[in-house]
Structure 1
Amino acid sequence: MTKTVLYARVSTADQTLEHQRTQAEKAGFKIDKVIADHGVSGVSTKLAERPEGKRLFDILRPGDTLVVRWVDRLGRDYRDVSDSIRHFMGEGVVIKTVINSMVFDGATKNPIQQAVRDALIAFMAATAEAQATATKEAQKAGIAAAQAGDPKAYRGRKPSYDRAMFEKVTGMLDQSAGASAIAAVTGLTRQAILRIRDDRAGAEKALALWSL
């Protein structure tokens, strides 16, 4: 019997396991099994080397579906993400994302569909790595500024949101929610939502400066 497996990677800078499962269920997925790695870097640790991530290679069978919030849950390294997706497709596993409802299926024989699929894999894997790099640089900049002289002189205005709220906002933005709708749910001002939307790296830097 085929199964649907949700894989989640959870860290202090990412969404919780409960949030990722709730998002998947709201998107219509019926999850049979959840596998999650906690506190594992998606940049420095390959999927096959993570305590739980490596189980995917053992339990997934032809016809199974692997669900992830987005491909960045599989990893933030271009080569690792693209290789993992291609491996699972080669094993007859279908990969589906909650955000944007992407489907990666190795069964298609249509050359045009194959070309589009492969281009999407490359683009999404590259985007995951680029976002990780931007976040890392923003955090480094925030720490460096805080260590230079009087930290208060470099902090600027304290953010009106904490890390958990930032994750909630970015999660809703990734699902194409509007600023007004997000403001109504979170209680933040529409202007704050727009600032996060337009400059996520800057928002990350502010959180790092204020140790939020």
Structure 2
Amino acid sequence: MSQTILYARVSTVDQTLDHQTTQAEAAGFIIDEVVADHGVSGVSTKLTDRSEGKRLFDKLRRGDTLVVRWVDRLGRNYEDVTDTIRRFMKEGIIIKTVINGMTFDGATTDPMQQAVRDALIAFMAATAQAQAEATKAAQRAGIEARKGDTTRYRGKKPSYDRERFNAVLDLLAQGVGASAISKATGLTRQTVLRIKGDQAGAEAALRKWGI
């Protein structure tokens, strides 16, 4: 009998296992088991090197479904993520994402469908790595700003908190427009566009204020 396993990677205090599980269930997934790694970087630690992540390769069988919030839960390194997804597909495992509702499997034999699928995998993996690098750059910028500013000037306090910032990023990843995101989050359309146009800067502003 096939099973559906949710894999969650919780690397910061801003992410929670409950949040990722609730999102998956709200999207209609019926989860048989949750496997989670806590405090693990998706940039420097491969899935096969994580204490719980490597268990997936033993637990999952042909016909099973692996659910992740987005591909960045598998990792934030392009090569690692693409290799991992292709390995699972080769073993007959279906990968589904909560965000965007993407499905990746190795069932298709049509070369055009395979090409489209592989292009999507590559794009999503590249996006995950790019977001990680942007966050890292923002962290470095924040540290340097604090070092060089003896007055500890932090600028204007952001009109958004961490939760709404993450919500904006999630909705942008789903292709939702700025006006709709504004209504959903209660932020002004201009604020949404500022976050969209400079994610690293928006992240840095939150960190400067300890949000």
> Residues of 1 paired with 2:151 and 2:173: CA distance?
32
Pair 1:82–1:105, CA change in 2 (3 A): same
Deviations 1:27-84 (A, max 9, x none): 2211111111111100011111112111111100000001111111100001110111
What does residue 88 of structure 1 align with?
A: 88
2:104 aligned partner, one-letter code: F
Partner residue of 2:120? 120
Give the match for residue 45 of structure 1.
45
Match of 2:204 in 1: 205
2:174 maps to 175
Deviation by residue 1:76-130 (Cα, 9 ceiling, x = unmatched):
0011101110111111101111122211111211111111112222221111111
CA distance in 2, matches of 1:183, 1:198: 15
- 2:99 touches 2:170 (CA, 8 Å); kept in 1? no
SS, match of residue 99 in structure 1:
coil
2:155 counterpart letter in structure 1 = G
> 1:180: Cα distance to partner?
4.6
Instruction: Give 1:103's aligned residue.
Output: 103
Partner secondary structure for residue 96 of structure 1: strand
1:166 is the counterpart of 2:165: yes
SS at match of 2:2: coil
1:75 aligned partner: 75
1:111-153 CA distance string (max 9 Å, x none): 1111111222222111111111111011111111111132533
- Corresponding residue for residue 19 of structure 2: 19
Instruction: In structure 2, list runs of 5 or more residues that go unmatched.
Output: none
Q: CA deviation at 1:2?
A: 0.2
Give the match's secondary structure for 2:106. coil
Aligned length: 211
Deviation, 1:170, is 2.0
Residue identity over aligned pairs, in percent, reads 69
Structure 1 alignment gaps of length 5 or more: none
Q: 1:52 to 1:146 in 2, by over 3 A?
A: same
Q: Give the deviation of 1:178 after TM superposition.
A: 4.3
Deviation at 1:14, TM superposition (A): 5.1
Provide the secondary structure at the position in 2 that maps to 1:67.
strand
1:31 paired with 2:31, answer yes
Q: Aligned to 1:126, what secondary structure does the other structure show? A: helix
- Corresponding position of 1:137: 137
Question: What CA distance in whole angstroms lies between the structure 2 residues aligned with 1:177 and 1:122?
Answer: 21
Q: Does 1:57 align with 2:57?
A: yes
One-letter amino acid of the structure 1 residue matched with residue 32 of structure 2: D
Letter matched to residue 211 of structure 1: G
Q: For residues 180-209 of structure 1, what are the alpha-carbon distances to aligned partners after superposition, in whole Å with 9 as ceiling and x for unaligned?
A: 544445443333233222221111111222
Q: Which of 113-122 and 170-179 deviates more?
A: 170-179
Match of 1:196?
Answer: 195
